[in-house]
Structure 1
Amino acid sequence: MKKQTKAIRIQSKKSQNREHSTPLYLTSSFTFESAEQGKALFDETETGNLYSRFSNPSVQEFVDKVCMLEDCEDGVATATGMAAVFASMAALLKSGDHILASRALFGSAHQIITQILSKWGITYTYLDADASESDWEAAVQPSTRMVYLETPSNPGLDLVDLEMIGRLCKKHGLIFNVDNCFATPAIQCPAEFGADIIVHSATKFMDGQGRVLGGIVVGKPEYIKAVRFFCRQTGPSLSPFNAWVLSKSLETLELRMDRHSSNALQLAQALEKHPDVKRVNYPFLPSHPQYDLAKKQMSAGGAIVTIELEGGFERVSSFFNALQIPSLSSNLGDTRTIVTNPFTTTHSKLKADEKAALGITEGLIRISVGLEAVEDLIEDFEQAVAVSAAAIAVDK
């Protein structure tokens, strides 16, 4: 069966009630049929649910679907995406280890690597997303344990060559850890390129409607075993209700990402022609510096477009005030189009030189393109560009 069919048909085992929609297991704990069974479950001679911090049928259904979509064998769900990112590192790295990472990372991932892991004696080296294979090779140290990257990155939409990094990690025996949140498994499958671990903020496109928080780590069993131990002891458990919502949402992931990508490409093409837009960035625009790589490892460009306007934050403010349809929020991955200014929101805690290195300027706008009629979006964005350009001109 195709993945789209499996995403709809994988579900928890039916109960005696023969329900069609999968049940929701809102319980903190599970009972034993006997003292002997309790002992067997705890000494792991029998498998089964004990406590929802450890496992839960609603959560397991979500994990099973993501493992299938990402071509991975095992996984652990978490309360948030950042819990998944942190667990994927903290469970597998120790004092004295070194991590190689793409410089283009979400702000909180950057803080984990530079401010939290560093306190534990874990060092890091950043490379530009477009660094050559020889650059990555030269950065490998005897203590290097993991390569971590986002592709496409947040917010710059920088790409890293997954095939190249997979080759590097295999050669040096490194753990290959990929944040696949922006692309989702509907568009990109890092496991095909040798990724050992794949992380997601399920809050974003996996939910797709801005309702619940969630995260997940999937990958090879030998690594997920350590992640599971870490999560069971530290407790970043995914709520069964959130897991139930996310599992149902995965049934439409492929359909939604098709529409998100189509809308995003058309909006990007329209804005690229606008004389008052300084720059438009989208992986499936031929003007993207890594367009060929995007076409190689992605089946579509995804939902995120970035644009840059002249005039700094004053221009951005005028532009946002003129928009009629989009929501102003630091979130993304919703059916509703969302805009934010990373310079003052998601990446505001970065230092000036760090922002500059990532191309995060005052005039940068990240657009999470939703599922509205694309004609309405184009019309609204074009009028807002014009209004904000006129406002800045008057002020000058």
Structure 2
Amino acid sequence: MADCYALLIADSMMKGIKSMEQSTRAIHMGFPSLDDSHAAAIAMTSAYDFTSAQEASDRFNGVTEGNIYSRFTNPSVEHFERKLTSLENAEAAVAFASGMAAYLALAMTFLKQGDHVVLASGIFGTTTHLFRQYFGQFGITATCVDLDDQHAWQAAMCDRTRMILVESPTNPLLKVADLSWLSGLAKRNHALLVVDNTLLSPVNQRPLNHGADLVLHSTGKFMDGQGRTVGGVIAGRKDVIQPLKNYLRSSGTCMNAFTAWVLSHGLDTLTARMAMHEQNARKVEAWLRQQSCVKQVFSTFSPVHPQAEVIAKQQTGHSPVISFIVEGGQAAAWRCIDALNLVARCTNIGDTKSMVTHPASTTHCRYSQEEKLQYGISDGLVRLCVGLEASQDIIQDLGQALAASQVKHSLREVVSLS
């Protein structure tokens, strides 16, 4: 009966539209139903129609749930958030325009003048710069601590500490935090523990299960999987996510519907892709360890990793990010990078394509030279994210590039080094 009633209304509307001017008919023709669509549709709309003034008022004032405005309520974005919530074993999630927008939201929502933040040393340089430089202008202080030094973490805490922020594993040196231990430290000091889980994804680690209050992702990495989008997302308990959603409503740092649609489909293949990434990375990592011109390899695969017991306890898999130090410093590292044919020179990670970057001169260039030395970001360090190509092809390309890295210096390099 309801379907018949809807058809009668639609028929009546069409008869009315037919009597209108051409431009009016085009504007008010209506939309096709996508209820039977096999793939999720994209909610490409800025706003929503209300059945009455009362309904509009009720939604804006939180009396009833429903879409209001796409800056903070969009079906495609909410679909992605629900998927990520499930994968991270969270209660709720909120998506942002970028990973850095997510970090900005954390500070704007939970910090005020006089508050203190403890950051894991050596994390993404822009994150550290954001907290120390920009938030520092508003009276928020930040201390960097070696991720695996528990005494340093305890010493860094004070009565003004409101947030602990870590990447685990870190990028690019693959250090690992004991999340359960850090959770206890945070709770004793009434601080939020925020874990950036980008390098592992919820497939290989669920920080909330180990006591984290919030988990953050830069979604343009493994969640997208093909380097097509930029985005960020934070998941956790509802009572902690809701203030972030309130901030999003006022700030407008929202994820767009198309990006959310891409990411939702990316999550469908995330488990399969992470398994393929790890399978390839294990072979590449084992090969790198056998190369005489490679001084050191950093990964979470090795049984002699300093945090091997912690890795076994809290990770269900590994990141395909591997870093290695090339004999010969920056000149050799750059020769290696420049000689690559298959592996892309790119600062992103998580793509189907393998890619490398030189952290000291790119992602961590905002650290001082002293900080780079302290945190292990050496001039010869190369970061590799192993993609989904055939492993033997990746190894072959790395082999010829490493050989090229060890040739005699060119005249330009001799001059620059002298």
* Runs (5+) with no aligned partner, structure 1: 1-13
Of residues 49, 55, 65, the one that matches 1:47 is: 65
1:247 to 2:250 alignment:
no
Does 2:126 correspond to 1:92?
A: no
Task: Quote the Cα distance in structure 2 between the aligned partners of 1:349 and 1:265.
Answer: 31
Describe the SS at the equivalent of 1:178.
strand
The question of whether the paired residues in 2 share the 8 Å contact of 1:101 and 1:124 is answered with yes
Whether 2:74 is the aligned partner of 1:56: answer: yes
> Aligned letter for 1:122?
I
The answer as to whether partners of 1:88 and 1:217 remain within 8 angstroms in 2 is: no
- Corresponding residue number in structure 2 for 1:260: 277
Indicate conservation of the 8 Å contact 2:354/2:384, yes or no. Answer: yes
1:87 and 1:158, CA in 2 relative to 1: closer, same or farther beyond 3 A? same
Query: Equivalent residue for 2:157?
Result: 140
- Alpha-carbon distance between aligned partners in 2 of 1:323 and 1:139, rounded to the nearest angstrom: 42
Tell me the alpha carbon deviations over residues 34-80 of structure 1, each in whole angstroms, 9 at most, x when there is no partner. 11100111111011111110110000000001111111111110011
1:16 and 1:368 mapped to 2: Cα distance? 39
Match of 2:119 among 87, 101, 121: 101
Using the TM superposition, name which of 288-297 and 268-277 deviates more: 288-297
Going from structure 1 to structure 2, the CA distance change for 1:124 and 1:274 (only over 3 Å counts) comes to: same
Partner of 2:137: 119
Report the equivalent of 2:93: 75
Indicate if the aligned counterparts of 1:78 and 1:236 stay in contact, CA closer than 8 A. Answer: yes
Distance in 2, Cα, partners of 1:137 & 1:341? 32
Give the letter for the 1:65 counterpart.
K
Distance in 2 (CA, whole Å) between partners of 1:102 and 1:305 is: 19
Tell me if structure 2 keeps the 8 A contact 1:88–1:199. Answer: no
Q: Confirm or deny that 1:279 pairs with 2:296.
A: yes
Q: Distance in 1 between matches of 2:82 and 2:189?
A: 30
Structure 1 segments, 4+ long, off by >6 Å, are 393-396
TM-superposition CA deviations, 1:267-302 (whole Å, max 9, x none): 111100111111111011134322332222212221
> Deviation at 1:171?
2.4
Deviates more, 1:117-126 or 1:25-34: 117-126
Structure 2 SS opposite 1:126 = strand
> What amino acid is the match of 1:216?
V
Q: Residue by residue, what CA displacement relative to the aligned partner does 1:327-359 show, whole Å, maximum 9, x if unpaired?
A: 111111100000000111111121111111221
Q: Structure 1 length normalisation: TM-score?
A: 0.93
Matches within 5 A, 1:260-339: 260-339=277-356
For residue 4 of structure 1, what is the aligned residue in structure 2? Answer: none
How far apart in 1 are the matches of 2:35 and 2:293?
61
- Quote how far apart the aligned CAs of 1:321 are: 2.6
Paired residue type of 1:90: M
Give the CA deviation at 1:115: 0.5
Q: Which moved more, 1:288-297 or 1:194-203?
A: 288-297
Query: What's the TM-score once normalised by structure 2's chain length?
Result: 0.88
Kindly indicate whether residue 214 of structure 2 is the aligned counterpart of residue 197 of structure 1.
Answer: yes
Question: Is 1:28–1:52's contact at 8 Å kept on the other side of the alignment?
Answer: yes
Query: 2:325, 2:381 within 8 Å by CA — same for their partners in 1?
Result: yes
> What letter is aligned with 2:62?
E
Partner of 1:3: none
Compute the displacement of 1:201 (Å): 0.4
Look up the equivalent residue of 1:26 and give its one-letter code.
M
Secondary structure of residue in 2 paired with 1:51: coil
Q: Residue 399 of structure 2 aligns to a residue in which SS?
A: helix
Could you tell me how far 1:392 is from its partner in structure 2?
A: 4.6
Q: Is the 8 A contact 1:318 1:391 kept in 2?
A: no
**Percent identical across equivalent pairs?**
38
The Cα shift of 1:393 comes to 10
1:205-216 equivalences under 5 Å are 205-216=222-233
Paired residue secondary structure (2:406)? helix
Q: Write the letter of the residue equivalent to 1:153.
A: T
Give the secondary-structure state (helix, strand or coil) at the position aligned to 2:193: strand
Deviates more, 1:89-98 or 1:381-390: 381-390
CA RMSD in angstroms, aligned pairs only: 1.7
CA contact (8 A) 1:104 1:150 kept: no
Do the aligned residues in 2 keep the contact of 1:92 with 1:223 (CA within 8 Å)? Answer: no
Greater shift, 285-294 or 298-307, is seen at: 285-294
Which of 243, 247, 257 is 1:230 aligned to? 247
Tell me the secondary structure at the aligned position of residue 361 of structure 2: coil
Count of matched residue pairs: 382
Shift, 1:230, TM fit: 1.2
1:376 aligned partner: 393
For the 8 Å contact 2:159–2:189, the answer to whether it is kept is no
Residues 342 and 27 (structure 1 numbering): CA distance in 2 closer, same or farther, change over 3 Å?
A: same
Work out whether residues 119 and 128 of structure 2, in 8 Å CA contact, stay in contact via their aligned partners in 1. Answer: no
Q: Secondary structure at the match of 1:237?
A: coil
Please report how far the alpha carbon of residue 15 of structure 1 lies from its aligned counterpart in structure 2 after TM superposition. 5.6
Which residue does 1:9 correspond to in 2?
Answer: none
1:149 deviates by 0.6
Q: Residue 231 of structure 1: SS of its match in structure 2?
A: helix
User: SS where residue 147 of structure 1 aligns?
Assistant: strand
What is the CA–CA distance in structure 1 between the aligned matches of 2:131 and 2:38, rounded to whole Å? 44
Residues 119-164 of structure 1: per-residue CA shift (max 9 Å, x gap)? 11111222111112x4323322111111111111111211111111
Cα deviation, 1:225-269, whole Å, max 9, x if unaligned, reads 111111111111101000000000000111111111121121111
Cα distance change of structure 1 residues 321 and 135 upon mapping to structure 2, 3 Å threshold: closer
Larger radius of gyration: 2
- Partners of 1:138 and 1:346 lie apart in 2 by 28
